Amino acid sequence: MAQKNILQYIILGLLDQEPRTGYELTQDFAHEIGEFWQAQHSQIYPLLARMEEQGLITHSVEVAGTKLEKKRYSITTEGRSALSSWVGAPTPTMATTKDEFVLKLYFVQRADDARLPGMIREQIAIHQEWLDHLEARRQLLFGDENVPQDQFGHYLILDHALTREQQYLSWLDQQLTQLPHN
């Protein structure tokens, strides 16, 4: 079975929030969406053209300054229908994550490997920094509100990311304390 082009649905979802330029979409992947899904400029622009050919989106041309033209993309009725179908469809597979640290652990043979404490401490620092970032994002976006009335999905993914990082840090701390000669 062919894999769905998830990126097109992300773009449809962003355009359903508000019309955006290609640059603004790229920036969304550098910030909000980039916390859980990656896409490059080289993927986004060709996909926008294909999506427009398929009737999922349309664009208008805006002039910025005296000469610069930019396209502002909007979702069509057909695009909203496709987005709604995708959001409501089952998600039967579990995503594979690419974690280079875990891959390296796979090749460590012994618990007394001298590299392990440094490797784990490095990951603790990385994940603590990311956890701090996520907590700052939650405070910036939602303040002290426990469950927001709008942007509930965004709140859920941020809460998921926070929980994941807290659990990962707990696991790393546990592994570090169990190492011999630590």
Model-wide pTM > 0.85: no
User: 99-108 pLDDT, tens per residue?
Assistant: 889 989 989 9
The mean pLDDT value of the chain amounts to 88
Say how far apart CA 50 and CA 64 lie, in whole Å.
Answer: 25
Q: Which of 29, 61, 88 is the last residue of a domain?
A: 88
Region 75-88: mean pLDDT is: 95
* CATH number, domain with residue 64: 1.10.10.10
Q: Which of 35, 60, 88 is the last residue of a domain?
A: 88
Say how far apart CA 100 and CA 134 lie, in whole Å.
Answer: 21
105 occurs within a structural domain: yes
How would residue 33 be classed by pLDDT, with cut points 50, 70 and 90?
confident
Say how far apart CA 37 and CA 17 lie, in whole Å.
Answer: 18
Domain that residue 79 falls in? 6-88
Number of structural domains the chain divides into:
2
Q: Which of 28, 55, 88 is the last residue of a domain?
A: 88
The per-residue DSSP string of 51-95 comes to HHHTTSEEEEEEEETTTEEEEEEEE-HHHHHHHHHHHHS---SPP
